[in-house]
Amino acid sequence: LSLLRVVLDTTEDAARALIGRERIRLAVTGLSRAGKTVFLTSLIANLLAAGRGARTLPALSDAAGGRIRRVFVVPADTETVPRFDPDAHLGALAADPPRWPERTEDFSTLSLAIDVERRTSLGGLLPERRVTLDLIDYPGEWLLDLPMLRQGHAAWSAETLARLRRGTRAAAAADFLAFIDSLPPEAPAEDVLAKRGFTLYRDALRACRDTHGLRFLQPGRFLNPGPRGEAPLLWFFPLPDSVRGGLADLCARRYAAYLDDQRANFLDPFFSRFHRQVVLVDVLGALHAGQEAFTDTAEALAAVAAIISGANWLERLLGAAPSRVAFAATKADHVPTRARDSLAALVEHITLGARGRAEASGATVSCHAVAAIRCTEDAVARLEGQAVAAVRGVLLQEGVGATIYPGEVPMKPPEPAFWDAGLFSMPEFRPPRLDRHGASGMPHLGLDALLAWLVADLL
Ligand code: GDP
């Protein structure tokens, strides 16, 4: 008996020593307007509710063996990054009528403490373990800098300009392309030129994003300068190989300096410390935006997936990298149940190349379709006399119910004929209202399975 006591006491000591020490850093990012703010808000609402005993995240609760006891917000362990404001975000959902939460700062963090029950192998209760879940939200644009780490300025320029001279990009970038095409081969290393090129290039990127819904836009900080703002460090741009003078050297030096700076200020202090990562993508939005926007989103996703899941390479570069990465198509409630598997399959198809590599290298990648906040129910609509699977929800602006046919979701990047069939646009739905004390969390689709895959093994 006394031996058992000693063993138990030691376990208890170890358990006490563990309290407050265990951290899971879960990074959440998404290509612009992917639904990051809503995802984080719903995740927090549902975890808090799960901590009060509600079965809002069944797959996570089950994967954690039903041992989640309490969940509450705790101060984040960093003072330098803005806080994600849960009260404001949850408040918007609790308003009458409920509103979507305002977009977050582009870099913010929030920590939740999760108390997990522990038992001895004989079923005796041990002190609870406290696991701190750090949620770190950063702009997806920065993720697109990762592929640049594998290229020099010349290779990056060639690839970027080839893309920029195609399709709607060429029109959006007309002024920039005219500028670089007029540069003499021996263009000098003058800051006036460098800044002019940078400004025209950045404006082209902005037009591509804002007017055409394109996503494969590098470098990330040109679109999203972050807390450090704009600096001469950013005064570079892609150049054709016909330009070889001082300006080309200047751009190449700044390109390298920019990547060093991103490493020193983002990749090393933050990215390399993430344990888990989820990348959100509005794949449905890209499908509805047309062939070019879709292809571009797919290319951006594939490029990021190739790097992020090539953990060996990232680990060698940064010393560490997230060990699990999930890619999730958001707003899955915009399509009826049977289309959601297609949506997940589509994301998987886009990232599949990376997946093969990931399996070889140890990082694990998984693909999902989720609705952080479910606003619709399945319904049937009539299209040219035919019954088609649709969704029904309350329109945000009008406040009235509507049945919407969202079109078909292909299981892989669609054939050209798909785009001829005409595109559907999705309205903004009104979110359901969060009850006053948030006791029942928010309705969602697949958030629990995604979380279970991402963190349950650490609980
Ligand atoms: P962010 O820019 O990535 O932070 O995007 P937000 O999270 O602010 O989401 C942008 C908009 O997408 C929201 O205002 C909603 O209209 C819509 N949205 C986001 N998530 C969902 C979801 O799960 N379901 C539905 N129906 N709409 C969503």
Cβ contacts of 168 within 8 Å, gap of 6 or more: 208, 212, 214, 292
Query: In this structure, what are the phi and psi dihedrals at residue 350, rounded to the nearest 5 degrees?
Result: -65, -40
Domain shared by 298 and 443, yes or no:
yes
Kindly give the distance from the C-alpha atom of residue 114 to the centroid of ligand 1, in angstroms, as a whole number: 26
Domain shared by 154 and 134, yes or no:
no
Place of tokens 């972050």: 226
Question: How far is residue 295's CA from residue 415's CA, in Å, rounded to a whole number?
Answer: 11
Task: For residue 9, tell me if it sits in a domain.
Answer: no
Higher pLDDT residue, 246 or 10? Answer: 246
Question: How far is residue 311's CA from residue 414's CA, in Å, rounded to a whole number?
Answer: 30
Higher pLDDT residue, 81 or 241? Answer: 241
Domain shared by 43 and 109, yes or no:
yes
Question: How far is residue 321's CA from residue 324's CA, in Å, rounded to a whole number?
Answer: 9
Question: How far is residue 205's CA from residue 163's CA, in Å, rounded to a whole number?
Answer: 12
430 lines ligand 1 (CB under 6 A): no
Kindly give the distance from the C-alpha atom of residue 27 to the centroid of ligand 1, in angstroms, as a whole number: 18
33 lines ligand 1 (CB under 6 A): yes
What DSSP designation does 362 have? S
38 lines ligand 1 (CB under 6 A): yes
Q: Identify any residues that bridge with 368 across adjacent strands, giving them in sequence order.
A: 328
Question: How far is residue 301's CA from residue 414's CA, in Å, rounded to a whole number?
Answer: 16
The pick from 28, 29, 33, 38 for probing ligand 1's pocket by mutation, whose C-beta has the most ligand atoms within 8 angstroms, reads 38
The CA R_g of the chain, rounded to the nearest whole Å, is 24
pLDDT at 142 over 90: no
321 pLDDT tier (thresholds 50, 70, 90): confident
Q: Which pair of structure tokens corresponds to residue 116?
A: 């997990």
Long-range contacts of 99-105 (CB under 8 A, 24+ apart): 99/431, 100/38, 100/396, 100/428, 100/431, 101/37, 101/38, 101/41, 102/37, 103/37, 104/36, 104/37, 104/40, 104/137
Query: Which DSSP string corresponds to 45-89?
Result: HHHHHHHTT--SSHHHHHHTTT-EEEEEEE--S-SSSPBP-HHHH
Task: For residue 398, tell me if it sits in a domain.
Answer: no
333 lines ligand 1 (CB under 6 A): yes
Q: Among 238, 267, 296, identify where a domain stops.
A: 267
Q: Identify any residues that bridge with 21 across adjacent strands, giving them in sequence order.
A: none
Q: For residues 347 and 281, is the Cβ–Cβ distance under 8 A?
A: yes
Domain shared by 282 and 352, yes or no:
yes
Kindly give the distance from the C-alpha atom of residue 430 to the centroid of ligand 1, in angstroms, as a whole number: 11
Average pLDDT over residues 418-436: 87
102 lines ligand 1 (CB under 6 A): no
Task: For residue 441, tell me if it sits in a domain.
Answer: yes
Give the closest residue to 297 by CA, choosing from 267, 327, 322, 334: 327
30 lines ligand 1 (CB under 6 A): yes
Domain shared by 315 and 237, yes or no:
no
Query: In this structure, what are the phi and psi dihedrals at residue 411, rounded to the nearest 5 degrees?
Result: -85, -15
Q: How many domains does the chain have?
A: 2
Q: Look up residue 133 and give its amino acid.
A: L
Instruction: Specify the DSSP element, H or E, that contains 125.
Output: strand 125-139
139 lines ligand 1 (CB under 6 A): no
Domain shared by 205 and 331, yes or no:
no
3 pLDDT tier (thresholds 50, 70, 90): very low
Residue minimizing CA distance to atom 19 of ligand 1: 35
Kindly give the distance from the C-alpha atom of residue 35 to the centroid of ligand 1, in angstroms, as a whole number: 4
Give the closest residue to 62 by CA, choosing from 440, 452, 366: 452
pLDDT at 20 over 60: no
Q: Among 232, 248, 267, identify where a domain stops.
A: 267
pLDDT at 32 over 80: no
Q: For residues 241 and 158, is the Cβ–Cβ distance under 8 A?
A: yes
Task: For residue 354, tell me if it sits in a domain.
Answer: yes
Q: Among 225, 249, 267, identify where a domain stops.
A: 267
Domain shared by 83 and 125, yes or no:
yes
Question: How far is residue 104's CA from residue 41's CA, in Å, rounded to a whole number?
Answer: 10
Whole-number pLDDT of residue 8: 44
Kindly give the distance from the C-alpha atom of residue 310 to the centroid of ligand 1, in angstroms, as a whole number: 29
Domain shared by 71 and 49, yes or no:
yes
**Which pTM was predicted?**
0.89
Task: For residue 390, tell me if it sits in a domain.
Answer: no
Alpha helices, DSSP H, located in 135-226: 140-143, 153-164, 167-172, 174-181, 191-212, 220-223
Kindly give the distance from the C-alpha atom of residue 436 to the centroid of ligand 1, in angstroms, as a whole number: 22
Whole-number pLDDT of residue 449: 97
Kindly give the distance from the C-alpha atom of residue 37 to the centroid of ligand 1, in angstroms, as a whole number: 7
Domain shared by 225 and 330, yes or no:
no
371 lines ligand 1 (CB under 6 A): yes
Query: What pLDDT, in 10s, does the model give residues 200-217?
Result: 999 999 999 888 888 899
Residue 437 burial by Cβ neighbours in a 10 Å radius (0-12, 13-18, 19+)? exposed
Q: Look up residue 283 and give its amino acid.
A: V
Domain shared by 240 and 308, yes or no:
no
In CATH, what number is assigned to the domain containing residue 319? 3.40.50
Dihedral of CA 188/192/194/197: which sign?
A: negative
ipTM given for this complex: 0.99
pLDDT at 266 over 90: no
Task: For residue 367, tell me if it sits in a domain.
Answer: yes
For 203, the domain range is 150-267
Query: What pLDDT, in 10s, does the model give residues 86-98?
Result: 889 999 999 999 9
Q: Which pair of structure tokens corresponds to residue 439?
A: 């006791």
Whole-number pLDDT of residue 426: 87
Whole-number pLDDT of residue 289: 86
Domain shared by 289 and 332, yes or no:
yes
Average pLDDT over residues 402-414: 91
Task: For residue 131, tell me if it sits in a domain.
Answer: yes
Kindly give the distance from the C-alpha atom of residue 450 to the centroid of ligand 1, in angstroms, as a whole number: 17
Average pLDDT over residues 177-200: 96
Which atom of ligand 1 is closest in space to residue 104's alpha carbon? 4
428 lines ligand 1 (CB under 6 A): yes
End-to-end CA distance of the chain: 30
Task: For residue 88, tell me if it sits in a domain.
Answer: yes
User: Residue 171's Cα: distance from chain center in Å?
Assistant: 29
Whole-number pLDDT of residue 9: 42
The pick from 39, 100, 224, 335 for probing ligand 1's pocket by mutation, whose C-beta has the most ligand atoms within 8 angstroms, reads 100
Domain shared by 160 and 228, yes or no:
yes
Question: How far is residue 7's CA from residue 437's CA, in Å, rounded to a whole number?
Answer: 42
Between strands 401-404 and 364-369, the pairing is: unpaired
